[in-house]
A and B are shown apart, each in its own frame.
Chain A
Amino acid sequence: MNIWRGQFFSLAVVAAGCLLTGCNQSSPGPNAGGDVIKVGEYGSLTGSEATFGQSTHKGIQQAVDEINAAGGVLGKKIELHTEDDQSQAGQAATVVRKLISSDGVVAMLGEVASSRSLEAAPICQQSGIPMISPSSTNPKVTEVGDYIFRVCFIDPFQGTVMANFATKTLKAHTAAVLTDVKSDYSLGLAKFFKEQFLASGGKIVDEEKYSGGDKDFNAQLTAIKAASPEVVFVPGYYTEAGLIALQARQLGINVPLLGGDGWESPTLIPVGGKALEGDSFSTHFSADNTSPEVQTYLTTYKKRYNETSDAMAPLGYDAMMILADAIKRAGTTDGAKVRDALAATKDFKGVTGNITIDPNRNASKSAVILTITNGAIKYIQTVAP
């Protein structure tokens, strides 16, 4: 059942994707290639992680418009080609192939979810197209090859930060972990959290799993409750985090839940509500930062989209800005030269902090920890790399 239904799905999503996200952006005509630089973007504009994809897209679009308004790069305008992968496995590879072979983009931006970045990365690597992931934190993403970069920190750092927060700030000795087995991101975070938590002398009392898209977590949470941990680490996405918090409180689990940047979404608090009180997560960016870059960015974003920026949009923005900077320094759009320029990025003043690309093509930068207090997300601390 699942299988042949799945195939129907993939047929329909192509059509629906065009309908919803506007494939109309991507037909520049035969003569248009010369005076523009085509940049590809693939993202989860619809589906379960849609708010990530949408925010990232808004950030990238804002960057593209700012670059173009300032005269473009190498005297040419940036032309953004966006494709929707529907938050579905398999779709990322399909749309990225299309962007490279049919649209002829010179560089690729995407994805948020590590699973889908891992799908697209080998294709970009083989085609010699530099790819920058705005916010995939799984280490494996950039290990694919020397054309794959990211502008965010990686899971070992994030998992370690949360384990330290649990043991040092919350003084917890026991923890339970509830992982999304469908997501490389979640598995990675869980692994590094466990390692650091054990290394600090803590004890993992229970490990439970769920699959992304689940709505009922009572079974796993009942098992966690029986193990009575002092914190529960839930390194999943916001879609599930809110429901997990609700059901945990209903079952009488009253210890703090901890998460990663996957929690960062405007729909987290509406769904989880009071159940999220006292829970914390690590992320890339806090709007409480008073530096002029951040404040200018926030004001423009607010004016443009009439909403407050989350952490995904500035990462998309920074990914595009770093790419433009690298093309400028390379003086060409040749894949190998842009790659070298990207690898040499040092102390780039991004909205999400100072970005230096390390030898493994990861961004070395700090994380912030946010806590939910009185229904609002409050900045707690910044943790340097």
Chain B
Amino acid sequence: MTELLQQLINGLALGSILALIALGYTMVYGILRFINFAHGDVFMLGAFAGFYLAPKIATFVPLPSVAGALIIFGLSMVICAALGVLIERLAYKPLRKRPKLTVLITAIGVSLFLEYAGQFFFGASNKKFPDILPTWPVTKVLSLSVNSNQLIVLAVTLLLLLGLRFIVMKTRMGRAMRAVSFNPEAAALMGVNTDVVISFTFALGSALAAAAGILYAINYPSIDPLMGIMPGLKAFVAAVLGGIGNLPGAALGGIIIGVTETLVSGYISSTYRDAIAFAILIVILLVKPSGLLGKKEVEKV
């Protein structure tokens, strides 16, 4: 029983990081109807932004500290948001009127470009991510080990999710995003500047990816330029599983994939981990092709 609970905690921590990445996939899909495969690499850039910022920040805020970690978090999110907008402007915007397949292939190109440019500039070998956040001793509750990083991952994911929901549902920009998602031409006719909305979506998605990258690096402090590939792929699966284009769906999908993987690794064999996670995706899509929460009446952004 203890072991099962421990596995669930492990799975939740892993799943919430996947959920954060999945939100970026799902938002871009909701607005532009294409899969931004470079998203997993923006996640990697987020971790590297933190890696290179940490020594600079450490000169005026001692690390590890909560304040320092917050600054690094914020700056990395801003840097990646800018990069996300830049990628959209340079690679995707010129192709907006082209077939979706063209943009999809371009996205794969951008993904490879970021991965190998990363190897060129950062070096291919793995690097130790600095300790930016103080860790409290491992908490023992009913002989369960919960470390502070796992709790922080859960809390930050929840906060960002609520913040995102607020932006999408309660702000003018959020309303514009929903309008563009619903019908871009009609939204443009109503005076919504679709270019700005699309840039904003990329900025938001990339900032979330950066946050996920740093959370991931805090938990698994060994980073390399190819670290975004598998989490990116898993998060994509999570987004599809939850119903692509649907925000709560992406979060739910992430948690389901994370918990399933952990349970399979812990009780069956890690060899079947990916196979079973992907089999669940196939089964769900067979029963419900739009994904778990991908209903028509749910808002798409």
Contacts and interface: CB of A to CB of B under 8 A. Distances in A.
Interface of A: 1-2, 5, 8-9, 12-13, 16, 19-20, 45-48, 50-51, 54, 181, 208-211, 213-216, 218-220, 222-223, 225-226, 239, 242-243, 246, 250-252, 267, 270-271
Nearest to A249: B138
A20 B122 CA distance: 12
B145 A209 contact: no
B54 interface: no
Given A216-B219, A218-B13, A246-B221, 5 more contacts: A9-B112, A50-B125, A51-B125, A208-B265, A243-B221
B75 interface: no
B111 to A, nearest CB: 9
Given A219-B10, A222-B7, A252 B221 contact: no
Contacts of A181: 270-271
B119 interface: yes
A226 B3 contact: yes
Given A1-B233, A9-B112, A220 B270 contact: yes
Contact of B3 (A9, A46, A213, A222): A222
Interface residues of B, number: 46
Interface string B118-133: 0110011111100000
A55 to B, nearest CB: 10
A170 to B, nearest CB: 24
A220 B14 CA distance: 14
A9 B116 CA distance: 10
Given A50-B124, A219-B265, A222-B3, A271 B222 contact: yes
Given A1-B233, A267-B126, A250 B147 contact: yes
B26 interface: no
Nearest to A87: B124
Contact of A47 (B226, B261, B264): B226
Interface string B193-236: 00000000000000000000000100111101011001001001
A224 to B, nearest CB: 10
A223 B116 contact: no
Interface string B234-247: 00100000000000
Contacts of B119: 16, 20, 46
B145 A250 contact: yes
B171 interface: no
B36 interface: no
A239 B120 CA distance: 19
Interface in B8-26: 10-11, 13-14
Contacts of A246: 221
Contacts of A210: 265, 270
B125 A54 contact: yes
A211 B123 CA distance: 23
A2 B275 CA distance: 12
A48 B124 CA distance: 7
Contacts of B276: none
A181 B265 CA distance: 13
Contacts of B222: 215, 239, 242-243, 267, 271
Contacts of B261: 219
Nearest to B272: A209
Mostly, the B contact residues are helix
Contacts of B227: 215
A54 B271 CA distance: 30
A138 B140 CA distance: 41
A219 B157 CA distance: 21
A7 B80 CA distance: 28
Contacts of B271: 181, 209, 211
21 contacts: A2-B233, A12-B116, A19-B116, A20-B119, A48-B226, A50-B123, A208-B270, A209-B269, A211-B271, A215-B216, A215-B220, A216-B220, A219-B263, A219-B266, A226-B2, A243-B220, A246-B221, A250-B145, A251-B138, A267-B126, A271-B126
A19 B127 contact: no
Contacts of A239: 126, 222
B187 interface: no
B262 interface: yes
Contacts of A12: 112, 116
Pick from B2, B14, B149, B219 the residue with the most CB of A within 10 Å: B219
Contacts of B112: 8-9, 12
Contacts of A54: 125
Contact of B116 (A16, A213, A215): A16
A219 B220 contact: no
A181 B273 CA distance: 12
B65 interface: no
Contact of A219 (B120, B126, B216, B270): B270
B51 to A, nearest CB: 12
- Which 8 residue pairs of A and B lie closest in terms of their CB atoms, listed nearest first? A219-B265, A46-B124, A218-B10, A270-B128, A219-B266, A215-B220, A16-B116, A50-B125
Contacts of A19: 116, 120
A271 B7 contact: no
A271 B221 contact: yes
B58 interface: no
A240 B25 CA distance: 28
B108 interface: yes
A209 B268 CA distance: 10
Contacts of B2: 226
B270 A252 contact: no
Nearest to B124: A46
A252 B124 contact: no
B102 interface: no
A48 B269 contact: no
